[in-house]
Amino acid sequence: MLRVAELHAGYGKSRVLHGVGFELRAGEIVALLGRNGAGRSTTLKAIMGLLPASGRIEWQGQALCGRKPFEIARAGLGYVPEGREVFPTLTVRQNLLLGQKRRRGDGCEPGRWTTAALFDLFPPLAERRDTSAGVLSGGEQQMLALARTLMGDPGLVLVDEPTEGLAPGLVQRVAQVLCELRRRGIAVLLVEQKLAIALEIADRCLLMGHGRIVFEGTPAELRARADLRREWLEV
């Protein structure tokens, strides 16, 4: 479904990724783990076309490297950035409509996600549909950012630190939603600092260090490797 090979990217003259490669299948949650600065967020941005990159990125047989972010989104990838980046002066409903997938004409393509379906998935958003996004709580803004991405009807969602700053109950709610996406056949590439949550919901783990993948395996295999956790995860 998604194939990444020999991916190199960075910021200006500073190289961050040094030949990253992995695959991701439909209906699979893959956790991208590592310390801050390992290259996790850079990987998501490079896949989404937000950074210049070289190498191979293929999505359902389409080459994505070098394409513009809106073209990548139209191809079926969704991106939930760290920091949520909702439009604060627009209402919840207006934020959702901005995420709706456009077709070449003036209208929008019908997809599997509608505002009604997303309000069912995120009941707190339904209660605040006419509220400006800027006054929502952090957890509500995170729900809105994820819901807005789903309005684009992606087959793969790249999610960067979705539980950062959230109360434990909301952390579990976000985890449940990601598992629901998997149940519906949507792939998830998850950057998550909370190791317990990542290992609880992921099917596979990719461990990054110094801009490279240093381990790939199941959560159980990573739990069994205390040496890897000490070298690449623990502070």
- 166-205 pLDDT, tens per residue? 888 888 988 999 999 999 999 999 999 899 999 999 999 9
Task: Give the angle 100-61-38 at the CA atoms, nearest 5°.
Answer: 75
Nearest residue to 22 via CA among 221, 223, 216? 216
Do 95 and 125 belong to one domain?
yes
Do 70 and 104 belong to one domain?
no
Do 137 and 43 belong to one domain?
no
Answer yes or no: is 176 within a domain.
yes
pLDDT above 80: residue 110: no
pLDDT above 90: residue 3: yes
Q: How far apart are CA 170 and CA 223, in angstroms?
A: 25
- 119-159 pLDDT, tens per residue? 999 999 999 999 999 999 988 999 999 999 999 999 999 99
Do 61 and 104 belong to one domain?
no
What's the mean pLDDT in 23-32?
96
Residue with tokens 């990217």: 9
Report the run of H or E that residue 117 belongs to, with start and end.
helix 115-121
Q: In the β-sheet with 212-217, what is the strand arrangement from edge to edge?
A: 77-80, 156-160, 187-191, 29-33, 204-209, 212-217
* Structural domain count, the chain: 2
- Residue 108's pLDDT band, with cuts at 50, 70 and 90, is low
